[in-house]
Chain A
Amino acid sequence: QKEVEQNSGPLSVPEGAIASLNCTYSDRGSQSFFWYRQYSGKSPELIMFIYSNGDKEDGRFTAQLNKASQYVSLLIRDSQPSDSATYLCAVYNYGQNFVFGPGTRLSVLP
């Protein structure tokens, strides 16, 4: 059973701080890693994907991947109240299906 694990939260950070969201996965052959943001009552929205070890930055978001540790993280710099949402980690291995984690609820406090 391939699994993706995330801390369910809620993770509370003050406005302007860095929010750090973590995800671990069990399938060592996984190749692609995705972060989705889901507001309450809405559908998941893709915000980042990463394929190679290391960091990938896009605006205030940085995805970090460590395949040896089977760990992927998302950092949100200068957190805003509008970042308050559930963040889903998804993992993909070629020829198989996407596997989603349960999500981490982030609350950015004004």
Chain B
Amino acid sequence: ETGVTQTPRHLVMGMTNKKSLKCEQHLGHNAMYWYKQSAKKPLELMFVYNFKEQTENNSVPSRFSPECPNSSHLFLHLHTLQPEDSALYLCASSQSRTGQNTEQYFGPGTRLTVT
């Protein structure tokens, strides 16, 4: 596997379900990100992890819970979501050196539909 991978690619879940999105980067990067992209809207930054530590939580509702067990893996745990949470969820990674980040590379995304 190369680059940034995400699973599943598509997910349909009910409002009472619990599911998790997985992201893995094979680029040797140490910073990972979750973004939400809704139709006709710009990318919304959700969470940032640098060296496995969460450095940004962009006022995201608690029904979204991130987890970063190591620099290569990132999860987004979902529970009791709302229909407006339906969107494309994108994972990205970059290399962080003394506060400077290189360009971000994106995974293919998970298309989430909440029914």
Contact = CB atoms under 8 A, between A and B. Distances in A.
Interface of A: 31-32, 34, 36, 41-46, 49, 88, 90, 92, 94-95, 97-98, 100-103
Interface of B: 33, 41-43, 45, 48, 56, 88, 90, 99-101, 103-109, 111
Classify the secondary structure of B's interface with A: strand
Classify the secondary structure of A's interface with B: loop
B58 to A, nearest CB: 8
A62 to B, nearest CB: 17
B42 A49 contact: no
Nearest to B106: A43
Contacts of B100: 31, 94-95
B56 A97 contact: yes
15 contacts: A32-B101, A43-B90, A43-B108, A44-B90, A44-B106, A88-B43, A90-B104, A92-B101, A94-B101, A98-B101, A98-B104, A100-B42, A100-B43, A101-B42, A103-B42
